[in-house]
A and B are shown apart, each in its own frame.
Chain A
Amino acid sequence: MAILEVKDITKSFGKAKILKGISFSLEEGNVLSIIGSSGSGKTTLLRCINGLDTATTGKITVNGQTVFDSDITDKNQLKELNKNKQNIGLVFQQFNLFPQYTTLENVTLAMKLQAKRRDDYKKKRKEILDEIDKTAKYFLDKVGLSDKLDLYPCQLSGGQQQRVSIARALALRPKILFFDEPTSALDPELTGEILKTIRQLAEDNMTMVIVTHEMNFAKDVSDQIIFMDNGIICGRGTPDEFFNSDNERIRQFLQSYQK
């Protein structure tokens, strides 16, 4: 069974139709890259799946649980859907680290707040907090930042900040991790370290959806590529199929990268 299923998602802002019926599914452990020119709706699609924007129509399920369904309007049911969102994580283009917290605190904050809602929090406070610290350090070590635990975001390079934000998302143990142009705010040198981190995650069989402009990387790391244009999916397939496509629009797009 597919771990992510997106069905007929449309999104309009006023009269502008940004998404015109997007459907796709993704198998567990696979990596999907979404590519396409600016304004094609890639980021909007990601935002709709993560709940930052509300799609106009459609349905999204993660791990068999519904996270969005435009037919559901009942408040209690909507709350239920919101809970299911815990299964997905998102890494932003601009990192969006919390500037007033250290590297470690950035990763532990959400976990600590969640722990406070547990019934046994008061009784086992110390154990729980130790566990959270351990988890955070584990993931920060994974992205190669165990020596930066006590630094603030302003003391880190862009690449390091993005790696903290990846660790922050991973620490909540999402079933799927989404990346919204994770390297677009970085120079080529720093881009490399982020791509290396994502590649490692792919080797660990992390299910990921990556919106990217890095063609070589997409070719290299993806199991599946979706090409979006003007609010629709106009091509999909394995990297091989995609990069050898005879679709006119895709060829045109790829040529613009070779210049």
Chain B
Amino acid sequence: MSLVEQFPIVFQSLNIGFLQTVKLFLVTLMGALPLGLIISFGSMSKFKPIKSIIKVLVWIVRGSPLMIQMLIIYYFPGLVFHNPIWGGGEDGRFWAAAVSFIINYACYFSEIYRGGIEGVPIGQQEAGYVLGMTKSEIFFKVTLLQMVKRIIPPMSNEIITLVKDTSLARIIALQEIIWAGQAFLKGSQGIAGQIWPLFFTGVYYLVFCGVLTILFGKLEKKLSYFKV
């Protein structure tokens, strides 16, 4: 089969894989962005036990490879409790991967949030306090937007890393774009021994990250009307 004949087949297959990649990316963000905020509050808690538990969790999650975490989350319930909660299908693999990614990224995000919150000068909270605002009013009306502005650069970094990290889900055979590209090495739909589809997946990542970079740039510009 010539390259011209191969291309539409590969293209369609990669698109399906890419959809799964994007889905994992979006679900991870939707879970990890709020969870990270909760974890960051925990890590700043004045209640020592909570603070310690969170510190240990963040240490474990940041201190071990995401790939290992995913393998444990996917296989552990079945191997140890003989209760494969995820099931064997693509859906099960997706949710096992999503849960692993959410926990992992929430821990990284939590540290970025913490830096952002602690970076807002204490005088801002004090001003809110002497003006009679409540703690939650001070957080939502004063601190939050200043924190968001501060964390855009490190967040965009982390989120762009997430795009490429989704390929790690290949390890539990999630049918994301790398998996789809690799299939043409072993043989699929009459195409075998071809490595170019795997290389070609890089273009998808490049375009995806390019779009994100532009979006983050726009957000940064939108918040450039004030200085922190």
Q: CB-CB < 8 A to A100: which residues of B? A: 145-146, 149, 226
Q: Does A152 contact B (CB under 8 A)?
A: yes
Residues A114 and B226 in contact, CB atoms below 8 Å apart:
no
Q: Does B88 contact A (CB under 8 A)?
A: no
Nearest chain B residue, comparing its CB with the CB of A171: B131
A42 to B72, CA, bound (A): 59
A152-B226 CB under 8 A given contacts A98-B124, A100-B146, A113-B141: yes
Residues A94 and B123 in contact, CB atoms below 8 Å apart:
yes
Nearest chain A residue, comparing its CB with the CB of B142: A98
Residues B126 and A172 in contact, CB atoms below 8 Å apart:
no
The range of chain B's interface size is 20 to 34
Question: What mask results when residues 131 to 148 of chain B are scored 1 for a CB within 8 Å of chain A, else 0?
Answer: 111000100011001100
Residues A168 and B131 in contact, CB atoms below 8 Å apart:
yes
A98 to B146, CA, bound (A): 9
A52-B130 CB under 8 A given contacts A94-B123, A100-B146, A113-B137: yes
Q: Does A237 contact B (CB under 8 A)?
A: no
Interface of B is mostly: helix
Residues B226 and A89 in contact, CB atoms below 8 Å apart:
no
Residues A99 and B146 in contact, CB atoms below 8 Å apart:
yes
Q: CB-CB < 8 A to B132: which residues of A? A: 85-86, 110, 114, 172
Residues B146 and A92 in contact, CB atoms below 8 Å apart:
no
Q: What's the least CB distance linking B169 to chain A, in Å?
A: 38
A52-B127 CB under 8 A given contacts A153-B226, A154-B227: no
Q: Does B208 contact A (CB under 8 A)?
A: no
Q: Does A96 contact B (CB under 8 A)?
A: yes
Q: What's the least CB distance linking A46 to chain B, in Å?
A: 11
Q: What's the least CB distance linking A97 to chain B, in Å?
A: 8
A94 to B146, CA, bound (A): 17
Q: Does B7 contact A (CB under 8 A)?
A: no
Residues B131 and A110 in contact, CB atoms below 8 Å apart:
yes
Q: What's the least CB distance linking B126 to chain A, in Å?
A: 5
Q: What's the least CB distance linking A40 to chain B, in Å?
A: 21
Q: Does B129 contact A (CB under 8 A)?
A: yes
A52 to B129, CA, bound (A): 8
Q: CB-CB < 8 A to A207: which residues of B? A: none
Residues B126 and A52 in contact, CB atoms below 8 Å apart:
yes
Q: CB-CB < 8 A to B141: which residues of A? A: 109, 113
Residues B137 and A96 in contact, CB atoms below 8 Å apart:
no
Q: Does A64 contact B (CB under 8 A)?
A: no
> From residue 55 to 99 of chain A, which have CB atoms closer than 8 A to chain B?
85-86, 88-90, 92, 94, 96-99
- A–B Cβ pairs within 8 angstroms, 27 of them: A52-B129, A52-B130, A86-B132, A90-B130, A92-B127, A94-B121, A96-B123, A96-B127, A98-B124, A98-B142, A99-B146, A99-B227, A99-B228, A100-B149, A100-B226, A110-B132, A113-B133, A113-B137, A114-B132, A152-B226, A153-B226, A154-B226, A165-B127, A168-B131, A169-B130, A172-B131, A172-B132
